[in-house]
Amino acid sequence: MTKLSKDYKDLIVWQRSLQLIVEIYQLTEKFPKDELYGLTSQMRRAAVSIASNIAEGSKRGTKKDFRSLNV
């Protein structure tokens, strides 16, 4: 049986996106300093964007826009 969750924090994909953010920040700390405003910034913003988009999409309110399977 599936259950519709209204909280994006319950989604495994959102939880893993937070782990990705931490890993990206740790990885990019090792990048050369001259990449701080280039590749480093772009990778960090992209990682944060994933979690943000999931949270933002969960507020749309329709089953089609937001679904989760609780197993």
pLDDT at 7: 85
pLDDT at 70: 46
pLDDT at 23: 98
pLDDT at 18: 97
pLDDT at 37: 87
**63 or 38: whose pLDDT is higher?**
38
* Cα angle 36, 37, 38; round to 5: 95
| 53, containing H or E segment | helix 39-58
CA 37, CA 63: separation in Å to the nearest integer? 39
> Which SS3 state, helix, strand or coil, does residue 29 take?
coil
Residue 44: C-alpha distances to residues 8, 11, 16, 60 (Å): 21, 21, 15, 25
For residue range 12-51, list pLDDT tens digits in order.
999 999 999 999 999 999 999 998 889 999 999 999 999 9
